[in-house]
Protein backbone atom coordinates (compact mmCIF):
# COMPACT_ATOMS: atom_id res chain seq x y z
CA UNK A 1 0.00 0.00 0.00
CA UNK A 2 2.81 2.44 0.91
CA UNK A 3 4.66 1.99 -2.41
CA UNK A 4 1.40 2.38 -4.34
CA UNK A 5 0.64 5.67 -2.61
CA UNK A 6 4.18 6.99 -2.99
CA UNK A 7 4.29 6.25 -6.69
CA UNK A 8 0.79 7.18 -7.75
CA UNK A 9 -0.86 9.73 -5.47
CA UNK A 10 -0.12 13.30 -4.50
CA UNK A 11 -1.74 13.35 -1.05
CA UNK A 12 -2.13 16.83 0.41
CA UNK A 13 -3.38 17.76 3.87
CA UNK A 14 -5.35 20.98 4.35
CA UNK A 15 -6.11 22.40 7.79
CA UNK A 16 -8.52 25.32 8.14
CA UNK A 17 -7.94 27.66 11.08
CA UNK A 18 -9.82 30.96 11.26
CA UNK A 19 -8.62 33.69 13.56
CA UNK A 20 -11.97 34.62 15.05
CA UNK A 21 -13.60 32.53 17.78
CA UNK A 22 -16.46 33.63 19.99
CA UNK A 23 -16.51 30.72 22.43
CA UNK A 24 -12.75 30.61 23.12
CA UNK A 25 -10.58 33.63 22.14
CA UNK A 26 -7.72 32.63 19.81
CA UNK A 27 -8.99 29.06 20.05
CA UNK A 28 -6.68 27.56 17.44
CA UNK A 29 -3.63 28.87 19.33
CA UNK A 30 -4.57 28.11 22.94
CA UNK A 31 -2.01 26.14 24.93
CA UNK A 32 -2.99 22.49 24.74
CA UNK A 33 -0.68 20.02 26.47
CA UNK A 34 2.33 22.27 25.90
CA UNK A 35 1.71 23.27 22.28
CA UNK A 36 -0.65 25.61 20.43
CA UNK A 37 -3.76 23.56 19.58
CA UNK A 38 -3.24 23.94 15.81
CA UNK A 39 0.31 22.55 16.01
CA UNK A 40 -0.93 19.13 17.09
CA UNK A 41 -2.84 18.61 13.84
CA UNK A 42 0.10 19.86 11.78
CA UNK A 43 2.43 17.43 13.54
CA UNK A 44 0.04 14.52 13.08
CA UNK A 45 -0.22 15.25 9.35
CA UNK A 46 3.56 15.60 8.98
CA UNK A 47 3.92 12.26 10.78
CA UNK A 48 1.80 10.48 8.16
CA UNK A 49 3.61 8.06 5.85
CA UNK A 50 1.42 9.04 2.93
CA UNK A 51 0.86 12.81 3.11
CA UNK A 52 3.35 14.67 0.91
CA UNK A 53 2.59 18.23 2.00
CA UNK A 54 0.62 20.07 4.67
CA UNK A 55 -1.04 23.48 4.27
CA UNK A 56 -2.87 25.71 6.73
CA UNK A 57 -5.47 28.16 5.42
CA UNK A 58 -6.29 31.11 7.66
CA UNK A 59 -7.33 34.75 7.64
CA UNK A 60 -4.99 35.37 10.60
CA UNK A 61 -1.33 36.26 10.07
CA UNK A 62 -0.62 35.20 13.64
CA UNK A 63 -1.98 31.71 12.99
CA UNK A 64 -0.07 31.46 9.71
CA UNK A 65 3.15 32.42 11.51
CA UNK A 66 2.69 29.57 13.99
CA UNK A 67 1.78 27.19 11.16
CA UNK A 68 4.91 28.04 9.20
CA UNK A 69 7.12 27.51 12.24
CA UNK A 70 5.49 24.10 12.74
CA UNK A 71 6.43 23.06 9.20
CA UNK A 72 3.27 23.70 7.21
CA UNK A 73 2.81 25.70 4.03
CA UNK A 74 0.56 28.71 4.59
CA UNK A 75 -2.37 30.13 2.65
CA UNK A 76 -3.81 33.55 3.46
CA UNK A 77 -7.56 33.20 3.12
CA UNK A 78 -9.48 36.12 1.52
CA UNK A 79 -11.82 37.97 3.87
CA UNK A 80 -14.89 37.15 1.75
CA UNK A 81 -14.52 33.45 2.61
CA UNK A 82 -13.33 33.90 6.18
CA UNK A 83 -16.43 35.22 7.96
CA UNK A 84 -18.85 33.41 10.25
CA UNK A 85 -21.15 32.58 7.33
CA UNK A 86 -18.44 31.32 4.99
CA UNK A 87 -18.39 27.56 4.54
CA UNK A 88 -15.42 25.24 4.98
CA UNK A 89 -16.03 24.09 1.42
CA UNK A 90 -15.37 27.62 0.12
CA UNK A 91 -12.05 27.71 1.97
CA UNK A 92 -11.12 24.22 0.77
CA UNK A 93 -11.83 25.12 -2.86
CA UNK A 94 -9.65 28.23 -2.52
CA UNK A 95 -6.87 26.16 -0.95
CA UNK A 96 -7.01 23.58 -3.77
CA UNK A 97 -6.42 26.25 -6.38
CA UNK A 98 -3.58 27.80 -4.40
CA UNK A 99 -1.81 24.51 -3.64
CA UNK A 100 -1.95 23.28 -7.25
CA UNK A 101 -0.70 26.67 -8.45
CA UNK A 102 2.32 26.44 -6.16
CA UNK A 103 3.10 22.78 -6.72
CA UNK A 104 2.42 22.83 -10.46
CA UNK A 105 0.93 19.40 -9.91
CA UNK A 106 -2.61 18.06 -9.60
CA UNK A 107 -3.72 16.93 -6.14
CA UNK A 108 -4.82 13.28 -6.09
CA UNK A 109 -6.26 13.08 -2.57
CA UNK A 110 -7.10 15.72 0.03
CA UNK A 111 -6.91 14.98 3.75
CA UNK A 112 -8.87 17.63 5.64
CA UNK A 113 -8.16 17.85 9.37
CA UNK A 114 -9.97 20.05 11.87
CA UNK A 115 -7.59 21.70 14.32
CA UNK A 116 -10.20 21.55 17.07
CA UNK A 117 -10.11 17.72 16.99
CA UNK A 118 -6.64 16.94 18.39
CA UNK A 119 -7.35 13.40 19.64
CA UNK A 120 -5.89 11.50 16.71
CA UNK A 121 -2.53 10.02 15.71
CA UNK A 122 -0.57 9.82 12.44
CA UNK A 123 -1.57 6.16 12.39
CA UNK A 124 -5.24 7.15 12.38
CA UNK A 125 -4.62 9.32 9.34
CA UNK A 126 -2.67 6.58 7.53
CA UNK A 127 -5.29 3.94 8.28
CA UNK A 128 -8.04 6.27 7.05
CA UNK A 129 -6.14 6.84 3.79
CA UNK A 130 -5.71 3.09 3.38
CA UNK A 131 -9.44 2.56 3.86
CA UNK A 132 -10.16 5.31 1.33
CA UNK A 133 -7.88 3.71 -1.27
CA UNK A 134 -8.93 0.11 -0.63
CA UNK A 135 -12.63 0.97 -0.87
CA UNK A 136 -12.04 2.99 -4.07
CA UNK A 137 -14.04 5.79 -2.45
CA UNK A 138 -14.67 9.37 -3.54
CA UNK A 139 -14.90 10.63 0.03
CA UNK A 140 -14.48 9.46 3.60
CA UNK A 141 -15.34 10.71 7.06
CA UNK A 142 -14.16 9.50 10.43
CA UNK A 143 -16.84 8.30 12.80
CA UNK A 144 -17.49 6.44 16.01
CA UNK A 145 -20.04 3.75 16.63
CA UNK A 146 -22.71 4.74 19.15
CA UNK A 147 -23.36 1.92 21.56
CA UNK A 148 -26.69 1.81 23.37
CA UNK A 149 -27.74 5.38 22.55
CA UNK A 150 -31.48 6.03 22.71
CA UNK A 151 -32.09 9.09 20.55
CA UNK A 152 -35.12 11.37 20.76
CA UNK A 153 -36.31 14.27 18.64
CA UNK A 154 -38.38 17.19 19.85
CA UNK A 155 -41.13 18.60 17.62
CA UNK A 156 -42.77 21.50 19.43
CA UNK A 157 -44.14 20.01 22.64
CA UNK A 158 -43.99 16.46 21.33
CA UNK A 159 -41.15 13.99 21.69
CA UNK A 160 -40.41 11.15 19.29
CA UNK A 161 -38.03 8.24 19.80
CA UNK A 162 -35.83 7.98 16.69
CA UNK A 163 -33.71 4.85 16.71
CA UNK A 164 -35.94 2.69 18.89
CA UNK A 165 -39.59 2.29 19.89
CA UNK A 166 -39.94 3.37 23.51
CA UNK A 167 -43.13 1.26 23.75
CA UNK A 168 -41.21 -1.84 22.77
CA UNK A 169 -37.55 -1.25 23.56
CA UNK A 170 -36.35 -4.77 22.84
CA UNK A 171 -32.75 -5.79 23.46
CA UNK A 172 -29.85 -3.38 22.85
CA UNK A 173 -28.10 -5.98 20.70
CA UNK A 174 -31.10 -6.11 18.34
CA UNK A 175 -31.00 -2.41 17.45
CA UNK A 176 -29.31 -1.27 14.27
CA UNK A 177 -26.00 0.48 15.08
CA UNK A 178 -25.68 4.24 14.66
CA UNK A 179 -22.52 6.08 13.67
CA UNK A 180 -21.50 9.60 14.68
CA UNK A 181 -19.50 11.73 12.22
CA UNK A 182 -16.82 13.00 14.60
CA UNK A 183 -15.17 15.72 12.49
CA UNK A 184 -11.61 14.49 13.03
CA UNK A 185 -10.64 13.28 9.54
CA UNK A 186 -12.13 13.89 6.11
CA UNK A 187 -10.66 12.57 2.88
CA UNK A 188 -11.89 13.31 -0.62
CA UNK A 189 -10.93 13.54 -4.27
CA UNK A 190 -10.57 17.15 -5.44
CA UNK A 191 -12.99 16.67 -8.33
CA UNK A 192 -15.68 15.44 -5.94
CA UNK A 193 -15.44 18.72 -4.02
CA UNK A 194 -15.35 20.80 -7.20
CA UNK A 195 -18.34 19.09 -8.79
CA UNK A 196 -20.55 18.74 -5.70
CA UNK A 197 -19.42 21.70 -3.59
CA UNK A 198 -19.27 19.32 -0.63
CA UNK A 199 -16.48 17.46 1.15
CA UNK A 200 -18.66 14.34 1.04
CA UNK A 201 -20.19 12.85 -2.07
CA UNK A 202 -19.98 10.10 -4.63
CA UNK A 203 -19.00 6.80 -3.04
CA UNK A 204 -18.70 7.56 0.68
CA UNK A 205 -16.87 5.34 3.14
CA UNK A 206 -16.07 5.58 6.85
CA UNK A 207 -13.02 5.23 9.08
CA UNK A 208 -14.05 4.14 12.58
CA UNK A 209 -12.37 5.58 15.68
CA UNK A 210 -12.89 4.94 19.41
CA UNK A 211 -15.52 7.12 21.04
CA UNK A 212 -12.97 9.00 23.17
CA UNK A 213 -11.14 10.21 20.06
CA UNK A 214 -14.31 11.99 18.97
CA UNK A 215 -14.17 14.72 21.59
CA UNK A 216 -13.35 18.15 20.17
CA UNK A 217 -12.70 21.63 21.53
CA UNK A 218 -15.59 24.00 20.92
CA UNK A 219 -16.30 25.35 24.40
CA UNK A 220 -14.00 26.11 27.37
CA UNK A 221 -15.28 23.02 29.21
CA UNK A 222 -14.03 20.82 26.35
CA UNK A 223 -10.38 21.73 26.91
CA UNK A 224 -9.84 19.80 30.14
CA UNK A 225 -11.70 16.76 28.83
CA UNK A 226 -9.58 16.60 25.68
CA UNK A 227 -6.42 17.30 27.68
CA UNK A 228 -7.17 14.30 29.89
CA UNK A 229 -7.42 11.93 26.92
CA UNK A 230 -4.40 13.43 25.16
CA UNK A 231 -2.20 13.07 28.25
CA UNK A 232 -3.47 9.70 29.47
CA UNK A 233 -4.20 7.93 26.21
CA UNK A 234 -2.19 9.28 23.28
CA UNK A 235 0.93 10.71 24.94
CA UNK A 236 1.21 7.91 27.50
CA UNK A 237 1.06 5.33 24.70
CA UNK A 238 3.77 7.20 22.78
CA UNK A 239 6.01 7.32 25.86
CA UNK A 240 5.48 3.61 26.52
CA UNK A 241 6.31 2.79 22.91
CA UNK A 242 9.55 4.81 23.03
CA UNK A 243 10.54 3.13 26.30
CA UNK A 244 10.04 -0.33 24.80
CA UNK A 245 12.22 0.58 21.80
CA UNK A 246 15.02 1.87 24.07
CA UNK A 247 14.94 -1.25 26.26
CA UNK A 248 15.21 -3.66 23.30
CA–CA separation, 206 and 203 (whole Å): 10
Indicate if the pLDDT at residue 242 is higher than 90.
no
CA–CA separation, 94 and 144 (whole Å): 30
Cβ 129 vs Cβ 139: under 8 Å: no
Indicate if the pLDDT at residue 208 is higher than 90.
yes
Q: When comparing pLDDT for 187 and 245, which is higher?
A: 187
CA–CA separation, 223 and 166 (whole Å): 35
Tell me the average pLDDT across 21-47.
94
**123 contacts: CB under 8 Å, gap ≥ 6:** none
CA–CA separation, 30 and 28 (whole Å): 6
Contacts 24+ apart (CB under 8 A), 80-87: 82/18, 82/19, 84/20
Give the residue extent of every domain in the chain. Answer: 2-145+178-247
State pTM to two decimals. Answer: 0.90
Q: How far is CA 52 from each of CA 2, 69, 121, 234, rounded to the nearest angstrom?
A: 12, 18, 17, 24
**Model confidence pLDDT, tens digit, residues 147-182:** 778 888 998 889 998 777 778 877 766 677 889 999
CA–CA separation, 217 and 37 (whole Å): 9
According to CATH, the topology of domain 2-145+178-247 is Spore Coat Polysaccharide Biosynthesis Protein SpsA; Chain A (3.90.550)
Which amino acids are annotated catalytic? 169
Counting residues of the chain whose pLDDT is more than 70, the rounded percentage is 92
Amino acid sequence: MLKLLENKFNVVCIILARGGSKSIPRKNLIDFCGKPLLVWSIGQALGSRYIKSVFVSSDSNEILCFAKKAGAGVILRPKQIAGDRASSEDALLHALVEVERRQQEKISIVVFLQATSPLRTPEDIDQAIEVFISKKADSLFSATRLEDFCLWQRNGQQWKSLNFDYRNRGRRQERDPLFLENGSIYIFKPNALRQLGNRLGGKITVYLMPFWKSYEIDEPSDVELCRYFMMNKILNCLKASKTRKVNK
